[in-house]
Structure 1
Amino acid sequence: MSLLKDLVPKREDQAISFIEYCRKHLTLDDGRPYDPIGRGFMKEIVDNYHTHPHMTVEKGAQTGFSTLAIAHTLYMVDVLGKNIIYYLPTDAMANMFGPTRFEPYVQRSEYLSSRIRGTDQKSLKQIGTHFFYIRGLVSKTGAISIPADEIIFDEVALINPENMELAQDRISAPGSLGWQKYFSVALFESDGIDELFDASDKRQWIVTCYGCRREATLESDFPDNMVKKNGDVFLVCPKCGHKLDVTNARWVAEHPDRDSRLGYRVPQLIIPDTKLSLIYERWEKAKDRPSKRATFRRSVLALPDSGNMQPISPAVLQRLEELSDYYFHDHSDVVTGVGIDMGDKAHVAIAQPYGAEGMLPIAFFEVEVEELSELVKQIEEAFNPGALVIDAMPYKTESKKIVRQLTKCRGYIQYFKGSELKEGVEGEDEKAVNKVTVDRDESLDETTDLFAANPPLALLPKPRNPKEEITINTVKLHLKKLVKETSGSGEDATIHYKKNVANHFGMAINSARIALQLALGQSRMTGPAEYTPVVRSRFRKKGAY
């Protein structure tokens, strides 16, 4: 037993605090000991980081949270004997994290170097008798089936939400602490980290002016609170002009009743030693350029901003709400198009034509896939559909069943392929069903353009009761998630709509628009006219029938 004690270096006494552990064993790149509460705004965050089971940080770039996460992971594994999984968006990022972010701290500490035992791979670190896993979540295989006491998600905005949800099962084992930490720069409003922050108690750093006692966040006042005078840049109160002290502030929760989920917004502006002159220069270059302005707001102000990558933005939805003058419908005498997005549940949108090329969604439904057949029967009776378009995938058999059951309108299964809208038939004889193919990105552009046009060519209905209010809020959330992303780089870079996000009603509305394009001119009363294939990119007054 004495020989074993000699071979395995003794770990730190469990009585050592996290802060003391950091100051004693972690050295920053510039040679200074790491003090996690060296910046005043960090004290509360650090206290809660070490004690609270669920924390979200919506942050600006280079605000120090990866360092905090590494330090706390070392402490948890080394001192408290816990197993931790650290998730990043991709395997490549995970493979780089160990050598570039984790190992330098270990190499600068004689004690930590002595504590690394056994397996020392890029994605697996053994400290004493417990483990620190580093995994990419580009696929479900990254959500490894190993129990952990804490899971950490870095760069949440880039992680596939379905894989992130699957990874949460790692902390469900009996005896696990069940801790979850999320931090990232925000990209789109109500997407990724911003959605998590919105579900938290939403703590913001409220700065008090010494001059007039006005209280506000620095990011909400920007750029009115930044001035340049005699070559110096500083923050001032927009009301009285007094110079602001960013340390004369406190964290205030917008929703204190949600204390089971802590959330912090951390912009660069609240860091006392941040270089305001560089921020000022960046803003001057970015303010008149939408894409650069969006990047600035995300990285400096910790505010989500999609630029032109979120066609249906909160501002667009606000304009739609102001202009809308109609309510949810229970029936329609006007011909409608029905769109169905298939997944774990079926999301259904029903739309009437609006002017020469617009549409008015009038009803939405979310049902279990098993209940869809009965719902479609009711829709045929009540909403006068001219055409119904339903996803061919992922439940092709069920989708074909829905198309075959239709008695009063024409049905299509839908595929995303090709470059323009085309109709065809799949199968033969009694198994034959109509199909329509469209380019996914071009088709979604046509739909989002209708809402984003000024004036809009598509609106949304007003709710008549609390249930419909919940529904329309979900529809708006899904429309905001029709966001774009860039793949590749340089000349090979392409922009396309993001997949694997909760935009189901948005996709259903897109299919309803296509259904209208196929059906316009047909009504249940008159029946279909002679059929002609549709090849136009937008529907006009004459349609498929």
Structure 2
Amino acid sequence: MKRSGTASAATFSTRYLRRTLQGLAAPATRSVSDPLAEWAVQRIRLEGRPFRFEGHEYLRAIYDDVSPHVVLSKAAQVGGTVWALLRSIHACLSGLSVLYLFPTRSDVIDFSKSRVGPLLADNAFLARMMSDTDTAGLKRIGEAFLYLRGMQSTVGLKSVPADMLVFDELDEAPPNAKAMAMERLAHSDYKRIVELSNPSLPDYGIDEMFVKSDQRHWTLKCPACGRWTAPVKAFPTKLGEQVEIIRPREDGSHYLACPECEAELDLAAGEWVADFPDRSIHGYRISQLFSSKVDPGEILTEYRTTRFPDRFFNLKIGIPWADLERRLDAATVLALCGDDLMLEKAESGSFAMGVDTGKLLHVVILQNTRRDEPHRLVHLAVCRDFEELDSLMKTFRVSRCVIDGLPETHATRAFANRHGSRVFLCFFNETQRGTPKWNEDEHIVQINRTEALDASRAAVREKKLVLPRQAPLVEKFAHHMASDAKVLDEDEATGIKKYRYIKTGENHFSLACTYALLAGKDLPGPINPDHCLTWSPSIWADDRTLWECVSEEDQQPIWRTRFLSSSSDGWV
């Protein structure tokens, strides 16, 4: 019995040891336990030199962060992409497959050539462990795979199982692509997520995720007075404000200063401090302010002279930025609310309608007013089918409707045909400039998208729009109007900069309002029949009536409009 007990104990110990060793060797365990910072310092060479943290001390804690979800809201050229690549390779060496995502396919090719290729050339041990390197989008590293994919196409995201996702330059990617990519983690027991990007707009892209994180800031202790300062928090968020954190030396150079006593801060002697330490997502905001590779004097000069504040704050300071010229806020839109309730049918006058198509049809109806008066938004609706639009056309005696030509081209064209030349399909044409191009024969209007959205934003900013009394649907309209934001793009080949609008949330009413304002353009406002010499009705083939008002001043017709009845109803 004694020998049997000893044998049983030995068998148990052996099995326990085997299970323990297997656990220690498991990919998830190794990836969590192996410190990435030490691995990089010991094994990696970059640009022919050993990897070091000198000048980028703020990165060390990020390298060793093993949180399942890490977010980097970063300025340009601060080492974030190198970290993401090394973390991906390190995970692959531990047996985990990684899906590394970029905004476009061309970004994948550029990254493979400019980042992965040189890394392999500098590190022979990685080259030996990597196979299937003949394609830009797939690398086999040990027993795992590194997939490099663009997010513009859904094809590249299908059938790619992953244990770890990396979203690089998240703000440049299509908003809906992230949700599809997340499905690639469905069958993994590991499920790690890394997100990094230059920020663009508040509460969009990487900033939306940073706001949900524990919000860590690199914080420096003043060697003189002991005050702790987070450089990003201390820097102004608006142009023209006094910069306290950057001070000049006597020799004309500049340094990062304590806002309290102006003593010089040690960029390397900092630590990451979380605003919300209980949150599970770890978020870091990295700025050029605490990089020893960037002269603070250059940052100060650019702050004082920049013509593109969004680029400065996004790429230098590493924070999102927007003003009312680039993005409305819901409060500004709701400030246009009056005391009137929404109309349920037409009063006297002419009405213009805008419709954004999709799974539902979002409708904005404006009552045309005199040229010196703001437009009145009189009705909002969310319709399920085009028959409801037919009803609104009749109920509000709509003089002109502009409807999104895509994606329901067949249905919208049938709707236009039912209403003659009162309905126009809108197609955005980025090469067109200036006034919209109306094609009466084809029932089509073309306009530059940026210019069209500029016009609807201007109507709000310049208070040329009056809203009904505040109600849930009006509040939804306001949030939709705030979801289209203007960003500055730069062509890498030519350096040419141009603005475009991006969608940061649901924007159906925003587009419908843009179409409605376009529909109401150049339509007359109300005319008092008493000021006209004649009303001249003439019956059309479809039994509708054309009323013509003739001005007292020059005996010339000043307006023709169409009604579904034979009465002008007084004011029109």
| TM-score normalised to structure 2 length | 0.73
- The 5-angstrom pairing of residues 323-402 of structure 1 reads 324-326=336-338, 329-331=341-343, 333=347, 335-353=350-368, 356=371, 358-361=374-377, 364-365=380-381, 370-371=384-385, 373-374=387-388, 377=391, 381=395, 385-402=398-415
Q: Please name the residue that 1:155 is paired with.
A: 169
Q: Please name the residue that 2:111 is paired with.
A: 97
1:475 to 476, 481, 493: 481
Q: Please name the residue that 1:235 is paired with.
A: 256
For residue 395 of structure 1, report the CA deviation from its aligned partner: 0.4
For residue 73 of structure 1, report the CA deviation from its aligned partner: 0.9
Q: Please name the residue that 1:497 is paired with.
A: 500
In 2, the alpha carbon distance for the partners of 1:356 and 1:103 equals 62
For residue 470 of structure 1, report the CA deviation from its aligned partner: 5.0
For residue 497 of structure 1, report the CA deviation from its aligned partner: 3.0
Q: Please name the residue that 1:514 is paired with.
A: 518
Post-superposition Cα deviations, 1:172-195, rounded to whole Å, max 9, x if no partner, equal 3x2353333221112344443334
For residue 118 of structure 1, report the CA deviation from its aligned partner: 4.2
Secondary structure of the corresponding residue to residue 287 of structure 1: helix
**TM-aligned CA distance change 1:279 to 1:346, over 3 Å:** farther
Post-superposition Cα deviations, 1:402-455, rounded to whole Å, max 9, x if no partner, equal 446669x9433223346643444567xxxxxx4433343443333333344xx4
Secondary structure of the corresponding residue to residue 406 of structure 2: coil
2:210 to 197, 208, 213: 197
The runs of 4+ residues in structure 1 deviating greater than 6 Å are 10-13, 459-462, 525-528, 541-545
Q: Please name the residue that 1:296 is paired with.
A: 312
In 1, the alpha carbon distance for the partners of 2:209 and 2:339 equals 31
In 1, the alpha carbon distance for the partners of 2:331 and 2:503 equals 27
Note if contact 1:488-1:494 (Cα within 8 Å) is conserved in structure 2.
Answer: no
Note if contact 1:338-1:387 (Cα within 8 Å) is conserved in structure 2.
Answer: yes
1:133 to 147, 160, 163: 147
In 2, the alpha carbon distance for the partners of 1:147 and 1:111 equals 26
Note if contact 1:26-1:34 (Cα within 8 Å) is conserved in structure 2.
Answer: no
Q: Please name the residue that 1:145 is paired with.
A: 159
Secondary structure of the corresponding residue to residue 187 of structure 1: coil
In 2, the alpha carbon distance for the partners of 1:65 and 1:218 equals 17
2:286 to 266, 276, 282: 266
In 2, the alpha carbon distance for the partners of 1:371 and 1:262 equals 45
**TM-aligned CA distance change 1:191 to 1:267, over 3 Å:** same
Note if contact 2:163-2:189 (Cα within 8 Å) is conserved in structure 1.
Answer: yes
Secondary structure of the corresponding residue to residue 161 of structure 1: coil
Secondary structure of the corresponding residue to residue 343 of structure 1: coil
**TM-aligned CA distance change 1:280 to 1:11, over 3 Å:** same
Post-superposition Cα deviations, 1:355-396, rounded to whole Å, max 9, x if no partner, equal 6265354555556xx456437636864x66443221121102
Note if contact 1:22-1:35 (Cα within 8 Å) is conserved in structure 2.
Answer: no
Structure 2 regions of 5+ residues with no counterpart? 1-24, 237-242, 530-534, 536-543, 550-557, 563-572
In 2, the alpha carbon distance for the partners of 1:37 and 1:229 equals 21
Residue 171 (str. 1) matches residue 185 (str. 2): yes
Superposition RMSD on alpha carbons, in Å?
Answer: 4.2
In 1, the alpha carbon distance for the partners of 2:371 and 2:339 equals 21
- The 5-angstrom pairing of residues 68-79 of structure 1 reads 68-79=83-94
Structure 1 regions of 5+ residues with no counterpart? 1-9, 428-433, 533-540
For residue 301 of structure 1, report the CA deviation from its aligned partner: 0.5
**TM-aligned CA distance change 1:424 to 1:37, over 3 Å:** closer
1:438 to 444, 447, 450: 447
Note if contact 2:399-2:561 (Cα within 8 Å) is conserved in structure 1.
Answer: no
- The 5-angstrom pairing of residues 57-76 of structure 1 reads 57-76=72-91
Post-superposition Cα deviations, 1:157-182, rounded to whole Å, max 9, x if no partner, equal 2223344443333223x235333322
Q: Please name the residue that 1:7 is paired with.
A: none
Note if contact 1:348-1:366 (Cα within 8 Å) is conserved in structure 2.
Answer: yes
Note if contact 2:36-2:63 (Cα within 8 Å) is conserved in structure 1.
Answer: no
In 2, the alpha carbon distance for the partners of 1:373 and 1:253 equals 52
In 1, the alpha carbon distance for the partners of 2:281 and 2:400 equals 45
What is the identity, as a one-letter code, of the residue corresponding to 1:229? R
In 1, the alpha carbon distance for the partners of 2:307 and 2:270 equals 33
For residue 130 of structure 1, report the CA deviation from its aligned partner: 1.4
Post-superposition Cα deviations, 1:128-171, rounded to whole Å, max 9, x if no partner, equal 12111122334333334321112212122222334444333322
Secondary structure of the corresponding residue to residue 506 of structure 1: helix
Q: Please name the residue that 2:21 is paired with.
A: none
What is the identity, as a one-letter code, of the residue corresponding to 2:144? H
| TM-score normalised to structure 1 length | 0.76
For residue 512 of structure 1, report the CA deviation from its aligned partner: 1.0
Q: Please name the residue that 2:273 is paired with.
A: 251
In 1, the alpha carbon distance for the partners of 2:494 and 2:174 equals 24
Residue 25 (str. 1) matches residue 31 (str. 2): no
Post-superposition Cα deviations, 1:290-333, rounded to whole Å, max 9, x if no partner, equal 22x43222211112346xxx87435x548935953526842174
Note if contact 2:36-2:64 (Cα within 8 Å) is conserved in structure 1.
Answer: no
In 1, the alpha carbon distance for the partners of 2:319 and 2:193 equals 22
Residue 226 (str. 1) matches residue 246 (str. 2): yes
**TM-aligned CA distance change 1:27 to 1:494, over 3 Å:** closer
Decide which structure has the larger Cα Rg and report it: 2
What is the identity, as a one-letter code, of the residue corresponding to 1:236? A
Q: Please name the residue that 2:57 is paired with.
A: 39
For residue 242 of structure 1, report the CA deviation from its aligned partner: 4.5
What is the identity, as a one-letter code, of the residue corresponding to 1:252? A
